[in-house]
Amino acid sequence: METEFKKVKRRRPQSIFQRLKNDAQWQAISSVALPMLLGIVIIILWQTQALHALFRTDTFTLPLVSKIGSIMFDIRGKLWANTLDTVKVAFIGLAIGSLLGYGVAVLTAMFPKIGSAGLSIIGAFASIPVVAMAPVLNNWTKDVSKEASVRSMVAKILVVVLIAAANMGLNAYRGLSELKPFSEDLMKIYAAPKIVVLLKLRIPNSVPFIFTALKVSVPASIMTAIVSEYFAEYITGVGRQIRENIVLAQYSTAWAYIATACLIGIVSYAILMIFQSILLRKYK
């Protein structure tokens, strides 16, 4: 009787929620649709001043969405110029830092006794607050050039490099060292040199981990670039404009730059996910 009861229980039809949960197509759609729906709800509450009533604030400190949008259109030229400056810092630093972190990860995977120290050092930078690191690097780079714009650019890029290197190094090392069972032993049986093991086994295995690191590094690099602009010597970039407008009590303009910062992060992450879906098809 107990066995028959278990069989009947197993044959019980799934609910609609269980079927949706197991439907891959629905999961793909909901991963985009649900966040968008939440964003639309927040915008509606914002525009109707429901959020103002909830947080007990006014439209001067928290301008309406329509007001922010109109200001973004009015200052679109200046907004675009500052956006390019921030994106330039973020992605130059991301590229250099990712290459540096991956290089340290490769060195650690091939020569653990030598490379482990480098991996520990760059990993330590992940725990240092950007607000503490940026002013220090601004002082260190004050003799790099006579041009304030160059000094400022170098300092901001260095901050992003350190953050990106830490994320990439730690994640890439996992991909380079956590190999499929017996795959490395098989390469040793064939007496494959270390460089062959690296090129044929370790690097291909690390590709998914590279994108895992980039999922963290891309938004982190943009945020780091924006925060480092607060302390930069040269007044340019989205982060610096947020600071300057808040100091001048131009909250509507500051919110326009905050919205721009959000858009930079969303667009960059979306581009990354498109590249990941294209390049990682063979790994599925």
pLDDT tens-digit profile of 116-154? 777 788 777 777 888 888 888 888 887 777 787 888 888
- What is the average pLDDT across 220-248? 89
Pick the range with the lowest mean pLDDT from 23-37, 88-102, 154-168, 255-269: 23-37
197 belongs to a structural domain: yes
90 belongs to a structural domain: yes
25 belongs to a structural domain: no
Tens digit of each residue's pLDDT (9 = 90 or more) over 24-49: 666 667 777 788 888 899 999 999 99
Considering the entire predicted model, what is its pTM?
A: 0.83
What does the pLDDT read at residue 8?
47
74 belongs to a structural domain: no
Here the CATH number for the domain that contains residue 135 is: 1.10.3720.10
Residues spanned by the domain of 132: 86-237
278 belongs to a structural domain: no
What is the Cα–Cα distance from 210 to 256, expressed in whole angstroms? Answer: 33
Looking at per-residue pLDDT, the higher value among 277 and 23 belongs to: 277
What is the Cα–Cα distance from 34 to 261, expressed in whole angstroms? Answer: 22
193 belongs to a structural domain: yes
- What is the average pLDDT across 105-113? 84
Q: What is the DSSP string of 202-268?
A: IHHHHHHHHHHHHHHHHHHHHHHHHHHHHS-SS--SHHHHHHHHHHTT-HHHHHHHHHHHHHHHHHH
Long-range contacts, stretch 265-270, CB < 8 angstroms, 24+ apart: 265/218, 265/219, 265/222, 265/223, 268/90, 268/218, 268/219, 268/222, 269/215, 269/218, 269/219
Instruction: Provide the number of structural domains found in the chain.
Output: 1
Average pLDDT, the chain: 84
32 belongs to a structural domain: no
